[in-house]
A and B are shown apart, each in its own frame.
Chain A
Amino acid sequence: MASSEHTLAHGDESSAGHHQIVSWRVYAAILVALLVLTAVTVAVAGVELGALNTPIAISIAVLKAALVMAFFMNVRNSSPLLRIVVAAGFIWFAIMIAFTMSDFISRDWIPNPNAPQYPATDGAGEAIPATRP
């Protein structure tokens, strides 16, 4: 059947979404939240938590990013199309990271005599010091 999605909004289909004016108080609240989270990040970074430091820092950063996107950038009220565009950027970034890291992480799972060694070794198997000649 004929798809009847009208994309020309001759004014009659203006979605309430992006024209809904968000109050400045919302922005102010988000500002406070972001500043608090920044303080938390710095404080936690001063505490020695070993392997947990990085995931915690990244998680807080993700939360701050979500707040900026949802409220400042108004993704919260945006059309599905815009949300897909936002998601696509991050998904593709994730694909690039995941597949590339799958190589680096798994290089020594199955021995590969051709794989480069870290630190770099010369012909005799001696490590080449990582210094500028």
Chain B
Amino acid sequence: MATVSRPVTQPLSEPTRATPNYLTATWGLKSWLFTVDHKRIGILYLISITIMFMIGSAAASMMRFELLTPQSDLLSPGAYNKTFTAHGTVMVFLFLVPSIPATLGNFFLPMMVGARDVAFPRLNLLSWYVYLLGSILVLYALFSGGVDTGWTFYTPLSTEYSVTRVLPTAVGVLIVGFSSILTGLNFIVTIHKMRAPGLGWFNMQLFLWSIYATSLIQVLATPVLAITLALVAIERVLRVGIFDPSLGGDPLLFQHMFWFYSHPAVYIMILPGMGVISELISTFTRRNIFGYKFVAVSSVAIAVYGFLVWGHHLFVAGQSVYAALVFSVLSFIVAIPSAIKVFNWTATLYKGSVSFNTPMLYALGFIGLFTVGGLTGLFLAALAVDVPLSDTYFVVAHFHYVMVGGMLLAFLGGLHYWWPKMTGKMYNEFLGRMSALIIFLGFNLTFFPQFIAGTLGMNRRYATYDPTYQVYNVLSTAGSTILALGFMLPVGYLTWSMLFGAKAGPNPWGSAGLEWQTQSPPPTENFDGTPIIRYEHPHTYTQKEQVLG
């Protein structure tokens, strides 16, 4: 039962000049557009979601500039409604939901289980094309008139009264949902059926646990979103009355069905980030994560439990008070597995051999910002407190802390961590650290004032506001420009590194992860043969490695 020491710096397969990697194995546009290599598909997704992020950010910038003044001067109220809808729809459905699973998950899941590819490679490629189709439809809708219902599509505004492009948006999002389902299905089956010999559930890397938990949610929740949006689309065309009170329908039914998906969706968005953080903390403290089993199981606990709390989005919608009480209690309890993770990460840092590389800066930022976001979520879970805070900027700040301060930071951390493996190049470390700091500072300046503004009563989704809130909005907009700068820097130096960066070895961080035991960039079949796993714990470092780093 002793832990076997591992020569982490030596790859399993010695790269020879003749070994092509997945980037150089074949050439040409067709070889990329018709690839079934999970790594290439991950890169295709990476390019797509980066474009989506830029579009969503552009919408956000317009919102922030409008909100510099209390009047609706830059954007009319109608245009502002379309802008925040575009921001939300693009960021949630086209960026955050696919982000880590479709890019880093696609790239590294098969490698971490020691497989040559996912279970269904062609389905994987289909996922990407379905994602593209849905995204194009959504973008077409947004640019050919826009949608003003908010990304939440509440009825009867969306089904009846809105004169904007609800139908193509709803259909586009529902199509993107299928992409999510197919990816989740692929990952679940891969983890169950294609683990290398000796790789049991409890010596899998924690990134795998979180991707698995995410996939469970994707597979169980997204179909309900699909059917809900289909009903909205049909309602737009047929005017049947399924959600129309004057015909006997109930708008709350829409909200129940919508949030049955959309609350678990926020766990789709955060769980992969948590998995990345586990990998980063473990590598850059040279330790196995403290309480590995707790962290692993808590991922699945979050996935399962997250399905029981959606009613907290309906507290002020007219839901039964009795049901609201139950959802409120459950929403408190769902914080526990997340807190378990935060405590375990922190405990890992204690007496670890910490190095402050760029990915680690993102990981540390995540822990702090996610904690703030999670705790403010508890404020909102308390029924009586939620009533005055509903639809204020407090809510906006809360979810941006978890989604941007949490998920986006984890995504950037993971991107920087695995960049050498994916591209075989190193980026400029100074610029990396600089950007991480700029993003951290810019982010807090953007969103912390929003907590205050929300508590004082500033409404969300309005182009105008009472002048007493202006100071907070000015601070927030100032922060957003710093944040934007922080996001643009990585685009620059990462792209630069692809062309001119220093060549990376197989394992520049000295990590114990299985994906590092092959060359950078990996060959098409990932490993030379099938690895056989003989270790007890996935993130294990010898004494010497811990000391020397």
Contacts and interface: CB of A to CB of B under 8 A. Distances in A.
Contacts of A110: 320-322
A116 B245 contact: yes
Give the interface size class of chain B.
35 or more
A130 B224 contact: no
A88 B193 contact: no
A33 interface: no
A118 B318 CA distance: 13
A132 B240 CA distance: 9
Interface in B221-257: 224, 245-248, 250-253, 256-257
8 contacts: A1-B1, A2-B536, A88-B220, A99-B308, A102-B323, A103-B323, A116-B245, A120-B246
Contact of B320 (A1, A3, A112): A112
Nearest to A120: B245
A130 B247 contact: yes
A20 B193 CA distance: 20
Nearest to B240: A132
A6 B533 CA distance: 11
B98 interface: no
B318 A112 contact: yes
A23 interface: no
B252 A4 contact: no
B311 interface: yes
A123 to B, nearest CB: 13
Contact of B322 (A6, A102, A128, A130): A102
A95 B197 contact: no
Contacts of B248: 118-120, 130
Contacts of B9: none
Tell me which of B195, B250, B253, B319 has the highest count of chain A C-beta atoms within 10 A of its own C-beta. Answer: B319
B200 interface: yes
B198 A96 contact: no
B322 A109 contact: yes
Contacts of A8: 194-197, 530
A24 interface: no
B159 to A, nearest CB: 15
B192 interface: yes
Contacts of B256: 100, 103
A95 to B, nearest CB: 6
A5 B307 contact: no
Interface of B: 1, 192-198, 200-203, 220, 224, 245-248, 250-253, 256-257, 260, 307-308, 310-311, 314, 316, 318-323, 326-327, 530, 534-536
Q: Which 6 A-B pairs have the closest CB atoms?
A: A3-B200, A103-B323, A106-B322, A106-B320, A107-B320, A110-B321
B311 A4 contact: no
A52 interface: no
A14 interface: no
Contact of B194 (A7, A102, A133): A7
Interface in A62-104: 81, 88-89, 92, 95-96, 99-100, 102-104
Nearest to A7: B195
A12 to B, nearest CB: 12
A2 B200 contact: yes
A103 B253 CA distance: 10
A105 B321 CA distance: 11
Interface of A: 1-8, 81, 88-89, 92, 95-96, 99-100, 102-107, 109-110, 112, 114-116, 118-120, 128, 130, 132-133
Given A100-B256, A102-B323, A115-B320, A4 B198 contact: yes
A56 B327 CA distance: 32
A112 B318 CA distance: 8
Nearest to A92: B220
Contacts of A128: 245-246
A116 B247 contact: no
Nearest to A122: B246
A128 B246 CA distance: 7
Contact of B323 (A1, A4, A96, A106): A106
Tell me which of A89, A92, A103, A132 has the highest count of chain B C-beta atoms within 10 A of its own C-beta. Answer: A103
Contacts of A7: 192-195
Contacts of B308: 95, 99
B318 A114 contact: yes
Contacts of A114: 316, 318
B192 to A, nearest CB: 7
A2 B537 CA distance: 8
A105 B200 CA distance: 45
A2 B198 contact: yes
Given A107-B320, A120-B246, A133-B246, 19 more contacts: A1-B536, A5-B200, A7-B194, A7-B195, A89-B220, A92-B220, A99-B308, A100-B253, A100-B256, A102-B323, A103-B320, A103-B323, A106-B322, A110-B320, A110-B322, A112-B318, A112-B321, A115-B320, A116-B245
A112 B220 CA distance: 32
A103 B311 contact: yes
B495 to A, nearest CB: 39
Contacts of A96: 224, 260
Nearest to B241: A132
A4 B197 CA distance: 8
Contacts of B195: 7-8
Nearest to B239: A132
A111 B81 CA distance: 34
A2 B203 CA distance: 7
B361 to A, nearest CB: 34
Contacts of A133: 246
Contacts of B257: 100
